[in-house]
Amino acid sequence: MAAFKTLDDLGDVTGMVALVRVDLNLPMNGGSATDVTRVEAVKPTILELSERGAKVLLLAHFGRPGGKRSSMLSTSMVVGDVEEVLGKELMFIPEIAGPVVEQSIGILADGDIGLLDNTRFWPGEDTNDSSLAQAIAAHGDFFVNDAFSAAHRAHASTEGITHFLPSYAGRAMEAELKALDAALGNPEAPVAAVVGGAKVSSKLGVLENLVGRVQHLIIGGGMANTFLAARGVNVGKSLCEHDLTDTASRILDAADHAGCTVHLPYDVVVSKEFTANPPSLRTCNVHEVAEDEMILDIGASAVEALADVLKTCRTLVWNGPLGAFETEPFDAATVALARTAAALTSEGSLISVAGGGDTVAALAQAGVTNDVTYISTAGGAFLEWMEGKELPGVAALVASNV
């Protein structure tokens, strides 16, 4: 991975203004956050800069206001939640540039923390307007990006600002980039990837990139049915994108040429109805699925074979569940393989990196959240990284180090 600067490269920052891009786009209910994971993630960076004597100004977006102010989408909504996690008071500043920000900086003491308003209230944020980026940067001595989840956006507060200030990766960003580099950038081989989810169409770029990067590609979820159909298997009334079977065949051919083994289930859990613990539940060979049945999970024998594959690997990257994991008992395969991956990680034989909302929920359901090497909570940015795309927010940190 190309080099980027971190907080370790900063000297004495006492009295300096740190502009810190964070992700405070929290899920809300009744005026308070229902999940503060994103605040917990950026807490080490904020507190370190504060303890080192910098005046910390937080830049964040909240929702999609479309370049217009909205009281319901002001970052003032999350002040209380952020204060509770940090254990420190915040000054809310209802602008992102200009005299109000300048005056507020004058009031802040060394080590104090201010939260600027929603960056997306200004139309120039989404369009990466250089003049807006310069106006924001005018208030800071240096910039810290600790919002990997927004790194796939070339916005004024993620990419534009790096052209005007010395720029550094925060602790969460640093950990994320190191984990991702270990997973796909410069991994220990053999590498396995688990890709699940409902539709092939949503992960085409991921699959096309991975077949040339990993030695084992494990396909699960509804998308596995499309690949099974491409191989001539009758998948009954399972979720299946029959119009993409040619695409699936092309990916299978590309995997063959690249020396990547694609693992599809050979025994599956089927049912005539998609409900919890249905009476028509049974496990069968993939060639025995009836016309009125749907595949809802991978069978126990296939999971055992996949566990054996992981035992031969040194690195695992995981995105998406193997079955309809939200409904019992169709979480069994995902839970079983996640526990195998966690056990191999704990004993030191596997580096495991997972990401995506469903994946995070599935690993939590398996009770192994703390036993994998790294879990990325970034949705779109994680997927684009798996597709092999350059992330503007990350590229900007590298470019500013040149």
| 357 is a catalytic site residue | yes
Q: b vs e for 221-242, b when ≥16 Cβ sit within 10 Å of the residue's Cβ? A: bbbbbbbbbbeebebbebbbbe
Q: CA distances (Å), 124 to each of 24, 137, 284, in order? A: 20, 14, 56
Q: CA distances (Å), 371 to each of 19, 306, 353, 367, 382, in order? A: 33, 19, 11, 9, 20
Spatial distance between the Cα atoms of 377 and 38, rounded to a whole number of angstroms? 8
| 170 is a catalytic site residue | no
Spatial distance between the Cα atoms of 326 and 217, rounded to a whole number of angstroms? 23
Given 199, 272, 314, 339, which residue is catalytic?
199
Beta carbons within 8 Å of 52's beta carbon, 6+ residues apart: 10, 12, 13, 14
Q: How many residues does the chain have?
A: 402
Spatial distance between the Cα atoms of 201 and 209, rounded to a whole number of angstroms? 14
| 38 is a catalytic site residue | yes
Spatial distance between the Cα atoms of 372 and 287, rounded to a whole number of angstroms? 34
Given 111, 236, 380, 388, which residue is catalytic?
380
DSSP 8-state code for residue 390: P
Given 38, 43, 120, 213, which residue is catalytic?
38
| 199 is a catalytic site residue | yes
Q: Is 314 left (phi over 0), alpha (psi -120 to 50) or beta?
A: alpha
Given 15, 98, 212, 357, which residue is catalytic?
357
Report the alpha-carbon angle 303-307-310, nearest 5.
Answer: 140
**Residue in 38, 299, 302 with CA at minimum distance from that of residue 146:** 38
Spatial distance between the Cα atoms of 224 and 302, rounded to a whole number of angstroms? 13
Annotated catalytic residues are 38, 199, 357, 380
